[in-house]
Amino acid sequence: MSSLAAALPLEIDYSTGFKMITDLKTLVKQNLKMLLLTNPGERVMEPRFGVGIKTYLFENFGSQTSANIDNKIREQVRIYMPAVQIQEITFGITDPDNNHLGIQLRYTIPGVGASDFLEITN
């Protein structure tokens, strides 16, 4: 069995050392999640990498904030994950009074003919 990357968070697998990702669809989903959750400046040698979704939690949430998040996600995916095409970004379970934000992404990976859904709630 060939592996593509370690699954995050790291988990011990006594046969291989760590739990590994073995399919491209799962790897893309993990990488997309990391792109959304990483703050710009947090990744070594890539100071512009990351959406920094948690930085938006304490902003006044409105149509301009959601447009800014949408633009930032699309820009970062275009730069760092060009094989992924974002189909739709929706903002779901939001509770601005308690600083909760829900984002759902529908995306495709045209090179392998796959599509998937990622949901992040903070």
Domains (ranges, CATH) in the chain? 24-121 (3.10.450.40)
74: helix, coil or strand? Answer: helix
**Percentage, residues of the chain above pLDDT 70:** 93
Listed in sequence order, the residues at least 6 apart from 37 whose beta carbon sits closer than 8 Å to its beta carbon are 50, 51, 53, 54, 120
Nearest to 90 by CA among 110, 115, 107: 107
| pLDDT tens track for 64-121 | 888 999 999 999 999 999 999 999 999 876 666 676 778 999 999 998 899 999 998 8
Q: Which residues contact 86 (CB under 8 A, 6 or more apart)?
A: 73, 74, 77, 105, 106, 107
Separation CA 22–CA 83 (nearest Å): 18
The pLDDT assigned to 95 comes to 64
Tokens of 112: 């392998």
Count of Cβ atoms closer than 10 Å to residue 41 Cβ: 12
- pLDDT confidence tier of residue 2, bands split at 50, 70 and 90: confident
